[in-house]
Structure 1
Amino acid sequence: MNFAHTTTNDLRKLAPGTVLCVAVTGIASVLESVERAAFGRAWLESLVLAILAGAVLRMVWTPGQRWLPGIAFCARTILEIAVVLLGASVSAAMIAAAGPVMVVGIALTVVAAIASSYVIGRVLRLSPRMALLVACGNSICGNSAIAAVAPVIDADSDDVAAAISFTALLGVAVVLGLPLLGFALHLGVLQYGTLAGLTVYAVPQVLAAAAPMGPIAVQMGALVKLVRVLMLGPVCVVMAMCAPHLGDVAGPAMPRKRIGIATLVPWFILGFIGLVGLRSFDVVPHVMLAPIGHASTWLTVVSMAALGLGVDMRALRQAGPRVTTAVVLSLAMLGSISLALIYGLHLA
C-alpha cells in the first residue's frame, strides 16, 4: 500500500509538467503541418519547433514549482527512452553492406570531426560541455546526438537548447546548399550520397539533400548516415569517461554521479546497443519497426519541448554569436574531412 501510495504521489507530481510538454509537442506538430500545407515541405521539423515553442512560452511565463518535476522527467527520462528505441533503426546487416573500409572511414571521420570541432569551440571560448555538444551534434546526428550526449556530460539546459537551436537551423541551410556544392565539385552519385550521409544531420534531411542526385545517392546517403548514427553509443561511453574532467557546470544540470559501470555505460546506451543486436538477429518484428521509429521521434519531440521550457532566452542570446560561429566552422571542417575520405576511397 505504501509503495502504491508513493507511486501515485510521484505520478501526480509528474503529471502537470508532462502534460504541458505534450501540449507544446502538439503545437509543434500543428505548426509543422501548416508548414507542409503552405510550402509543400517542413523547413523546420517538429523537433525544432517544439524547443522554439517551449522557449517562447518560457519567455512570457515562468513555470512554477508544480510544473518542474514533469518537465525534468520529460527532458531526461523520456529522452533516454527515445534513444533506446532509436536502436531499432540500425542493424549489423546495414553496416556490413557498406564494407569494412567504408565503415572504418566513417568512424575515423566522426572521431576527427569531434576532435577538431571541440578545438574550434574551445578556441572560441565555449565551455567544455558546450564545445562537446556542438562537436557531437555536427559530427554524428545533430539534435539527437546533442540530446543523447547532454545527460552523459551533465550539460545544463541553456547549453543544450542553444546547441540544438543553432544546429537545427543550420541543418536546413545545409540541405538547401549541399546539392549546389555537389554540382560545383562535379561529384558522382556515390560520392555525393556519401557526402550527404556524412555531413547532414537528421536522416530525413539526408534523404532530402541527396534526392537531387537520384535514388542511388539517396540509398548511399541513408546507409552512410545509419553507420554514422551507430557511433552515438561509443561516443556517449567516451563522453561519460571524460565528464568528470570537464570542470563545474555553469548552469543548472543533473547531479554528478560517482564513476562506475552505470556511469561509464548509461542504461539507455546499453538499451540502444541491445536493440541494435535484436534488430541484427531479426528478433524485432518488421511490422514493429515503423511504430517504434514513430515512438522514438515523438518522445524526442516531447523531450525537446521540455528543454525549451527550461531555457533562459537571455542566456541563449548571449551564447548566440559564439555558438553560431563554432557550429559553422565545425561543419566546414566536417565537410573537408568528409571530402578527403571520399576522394581517398576513390568512390565512382
Structure 2
Amino acid sequence: MRIWQYIQSVLPGFLLCVLITILAYGAEWLEVQLTGHCFMDALVFSIILGTAVHSILGMNPMFRKGVNFSAKYLLELAIVLLGASVSLTIIQTLGPLLLLVVIIIVALAITASYTIGRLLGLPEKQAMLVACGNSICGNSAIVAIAPVIDADSEDIASAIAFSATLGIIVVLALPAFANSFAIDPHRFGIFAGMTVYAVPQVLAATAPVSTISVHFGTLVKLMRVLMLGPVILILGVRAGRKAEIEAEKSTGKSLRLNQLVPWFIIGFFLMIALQSLGAIPEVAMPPIKNATTLLTILSMAGLGLMVDVKSVFASSGRVLATGTLSILFLGALGASAIALLSL
C-alpha cells in the first residue's frame, strides 16, 4: 500500500517531466529539419523548457515530489548506465604516450578552469561543474559530476546552458581554423579530440576536414571521456570525507562505506569493468545507450523544473567568461603538446 501511495505522489511530477522530454525531442527534430544540423540536443532543450515552465507558471506542490524523483534518482541511474559506454580497451589503441598527455592535459585543465571560475566569483560547486564540463566531455561530465558534489539545480542549469553555447561556437570555428592554416589532418584530429566537448561534436568538427581527423579526434575524445571515472571517484571520496568530518563533529560517529561512496559511483565503475571485460553483449549496447540518453533527458527536465531563470542569468556572465577562458587554455595546452611531442 505504501508503494502505491508513493507512486501516486511521484506520478504527476514524473509525467510532467515526460511531457517536457517529448517536447525537447520535438524541438531537436524541428531544429534538424530547419537547419540540417543538431546544434542543441534534446538534453539542453529539456533544461530550457523546464526552466521556462517553472519561471513562467511556477511549481505547483503536487508536481514537486515527482520532479525531485526525476532530477535525482533517474539521473543517478543514468550515471550507472553511462559506465557501459566507457571501455578501458581504448588505451591499447592510443598507446601510453598519448594516454599520459591526455591525463596531464585534463588534470591541468580542470585545475586551471576551477581556479579561473573561483577568481571570477563563481561558487565552489559551480566552478567545479564548469571545470569538469570544459575539461572532460561537456554536458555528460556536468551531469555525472553534479550529484557527486551535491550541486544546486541552478548551478547545473547554468553550467550546461553555457557549455552548450561554447560547444556550438567551437564546433563551427574549428573546421574554418584548420582550413585557413592548412593544418595536418592527423594533428587536427588530435587537437579537436583534446578541445571539443562531446563525441558527436568531435565528428561534426572533424568530418569537414578529413576521415583521418575523424578517426584520431574520436579516439582522443574517448580517452578524455575515460578520465570521467577517476575524476568522479576523486570528487566522490572528497565529498564523502567532508560529510564524514561533519558527521563526526555533529554526532561523534563515522559514516559507513556506502555513505562515503554513493551507490551510483560504485555502479558506474562496475559497468566500466563489465564493458572492459567484454561481459556486456554488443547487441545490448544500443538499448543501454538509448536508455541512458532518455533517463538523462528526463532528469534534466526535472532539474529545469526546479530552476528559476533569474538565478541562471544572475551568474551568466561569470560562467561564460570562465568557460571561454578555460577553452582557450585547453586549446593552448593541446596545441603545445602536439608541437612539443610531435604527436
Instruction: Report the TM-score, using the length of structure 2 for normalisation.
Output: 0.92
SS of the residue aligned with 2:279?
coil
Partner of 1:262: 258
1:177 alignment partner, one of 148, 173, 177? 173
List aligned pairs for 1:1-80, cutoff 5 A: 5-80=1-76
**8 Å contact 1:58–1:310 — kept in the other structure?**
yes
Letter of the aligned partner of 2:32 in structure 1? R
Shift in alpha-carbon separation, 1:223–1:212, aligned structure 2, 3 A: same
Partners of 1:31 and 1:244 in 2: how far apart? Answer: 39
Partner of 2:337: 341
1:329 alignment partner, one of 307, 325, 328? 325
**8 Å contact 2:12–2:66 — kept in the other structure?**
yes
> What displacement does 1:304 show?
1.0
Partners of 1:74 and 1:188 in 2: how far apart? Answer: 46
**8 Å contact 1:95–1:223 — kept in the other structure?**
no
Q: Output one character per residue of 1:66-97: Cα deviation in whole Å (capped at 9) or x when no partner.
A: 21111111112111111221222222222221
**8 Å contact 1:117–1:330 — kept in the other structure?**
yes
Partners of 1:244 and 1:73 in 2: how far apart? Answer: 22
Partners of 1:182 and 1:134 in 2: how far apart? Answer: 26
Letter of the aligned partner of 1:111 in structure 2? A
**8 Å contact 2:9–2:65 — kept in the other structure?**
yes
Partner of 2:152: 156
Partners of 1:48 and 1:344 in 2: how far apart? Answer: 37
Instruction: Report the TM-score, using the length of structure 1 for normalisation.
Output: 0.91
Unpaired runs of 5+ residues, structure 2, are 244-252
**8 Å contact 2:241–2:260 — kept in the other structure?**
no
SS of the residue aligned with 1:101?
helix
Partner of 1:254: none
> What displacement does 1:148 show?
1.2
Matched, 1:220 2:216: yes
List aligned pairs for 1:281-300, cutoff 5 A: 281-300=277-296
Matched, 1:207 2:200: no
Partner of 1:96: 92
1:194 alignment partner, one of 190, 196, 204? 190
Partners of 2:237 and 2:254 in 1: how far apart? Answer: 11
**8 Å contact 2:240–2:259 — kept in the other structure?**
no
| Percent of aligned pairs sharing the same letter | 44
Unpaired runs of 5+ residues, structure 1, are 248-256
Partners of 1:258 and 1:180 in 2: how far apart? Answer: 56
Partners of 1:314 and 1:164 in 2: how far apart? Answer: 16
Partner of 2:103: 107
Partner of 2:113: 117
> What displacement does 1:49 show?
0.7
Shift in alpha-carbon separation, 1:259–1:278, aligned structure 2, 3 A: same
Q: Output one character per residue of 1:236-275: Cα deviation in whole Å (capped at 9) or x when no partner.
A: 122234447999xxxxxxxxx9755335432222222221
Partners of 1:244 and 1:286 in 2: how far apart? Answer: 35
Matched, 1:275 2:271: yes
Shift in alpha-carbon separation, 1:186–1:246, aligned structure 2, 3 A: farther
